[in-house]
A and B are shown apart, each in its own frame.
Chain A
Amino acid sequence: MIEPTHNYSELLELAVLDAHGLLEPIESELFNRSFHDAPASIQDEIIQMQLEFATDDSMLPEDLPPASLRKKVLDAVASAADKEASRLAPLALIGARVGATAARVGSRETIMFWRTAAMVLFGISVVLAVVTMDVQRRATDINVIAENAAANNSLKNLTDVKFVEFINNPYYQVTRLERTQGDPSGYIRVAIHSDTGDGYVFGLDLQAGEVIVIKGTTSSGKAVDIARIAAKESVVAQSFTIDLEDIQGLTIWGYDEKTGVRWL
Chain B
Amino acid sequence: MRRVAIGEEDAVAELYDRFSALVFKLSLQFLSNKAEAEDAVQEIFVRLWKTADRFDPRKAKLVTWVMLITRRHLIDRIRRKTVRPKQQELSEHHGESATEVPFPSNVLLHEQNSQLWKALQTLPEMQRTVIERAYFHGFTLKEVSRQLDAPLGTVKSALSRGLLRLREHGSKESSVLRP
Residue ranges of A at the interface with B (Cβ–Cβ < 8 Å): 12-14, 16-22, 24, 32, 35-36, 47, 50-66, 69-70, 72-74, 76-78, 80-81, 95-100, 103, 178, 180-182, 219, 249, 251, 253, 260, 262, 264
Task: Name B6's contact: one of A73, A80, A95 (CB within 8 Å).
Answer: A95
11 contacts between A and B (CB under 8 A): A12-B160, A22-B134, A50-B61, A53-B163, A61-B25, A73-B16, A74-B13, A78-B7, A181-B77, A181-B79, A260-B140
A15 and chain B: residue at smallest CB distance: B160
CB contacts (< 8 Å) of B17 on chain A: these are 70
The number of residues on chain B lying at the interface, defined by a beta carbon within 8 Å of a beta carbon of chain A, is 75
CA distance A62 to B69 in the complex (A): 21
Separation of A50 and B41 alpha carbons in the complex (Å): 21
Is A96 in contact with B59, judged by CB distance below 8 angstroms? Answer: no
Interface-lining segment among B48-56, B85-93, B97-105: B48-56
Q: Of A35, A53, A98, A251, which one neighbours B7 at CB under 8 angstroms?
A: A98
- B49/A80 in contact, CB under 8 A: yes
Chain A residue nearest to B173 (CB atoms) is: A58
B56 close to A219 (CB less than 8 A): yes
List B residues 1-46 near A (Cβ within 8 Å): 3, 5-10, 12-13, 16-17, 20-22, 24-26, 28-29, 34, 38, 41-43, 45-46
Contacts of B38 in A (CB 8 A): 65-66, 69, 72
CB atoms of B76 and A56 under 8 A apart: no
Decide if B116 is an interface residue (CB 8 Å cutoff).
yes
The answer on a CB contact under 8 Å between B29 and A59 is yes
Do the beta carbons of A264 and B68 come within 8 Å of each other?
Answer: no
The 5 closest A-B pairs by CB, nearest first: A97-B7, A58-B170, A21-B71, A21-B72, A61-B112
Q: Is B106's beta carbon under 8 Å from chain A?
A: no
CB contacts (< 8 Å) of A260 on chain B: these are 140
Q: How far is the CA of A20 from the CA of B130 in the complex (A)?
A: 13
Is A63 in contact with B16, judged by CB distance below 8 angstroms? no
Given A60-B25, A60-B28: 5 more A-B contacts, CB < 8 Å: A20-B163, A70-B17, A100-B9, A181-B76, A251-B56
| Assembly CA distance A108 to B104 (angstroms) | 53
B57 to nearest A CB, angstroms? 10
- Do residues A19 and B59 form an inter-chain contact, with CB atoms below 8 A? no
Question: Across the interface, do B170 and A51 meet the contact criterion of CB distance under 8 Å?
Answer: no
B166 beta carbon closer than 8 Å to chain A: yes
A22 and B138 alpha carbons, distance in the complex (Å) = 9
Q: Which residues of B contact A62 (CB under 8 A)?
A: 25, 112
B171 within 8 A of A: yes
Q: Which of A14, A70, A77, A98 contacts B49 (CB 8 A)?
A: A77
A residues within 8 A CB of B60? Answer: 47, 50-51
What residues on B are CB-neighbors of A53 within 8 Å? 64, 67, 163, 167
Verify B16–A54 contact, CB threshold 8 A: no
**Bound complex: CA A229 to CA B50 (Å):** 22
Whether B166 lies near A59 (C-beta < 8 A) is: yes
- Please state if A13 and B157 are interface contacts (CB–CB under 8 Å): yes
With a CB–CB cut-off of 8 A, which chain A residues contact B135?
20, 22
Q: Which B residues are in CB contact (< 8 Å) with A77? A: 7, 12, 45-46, 49
- Which residues on the B side are within 8 Å of A36 (C-beta)? 59
Q: Which residue of B lies closest to A220 (CB)?
A: B58
Cα A227 to Cα B8 with chains together (Å) = 32
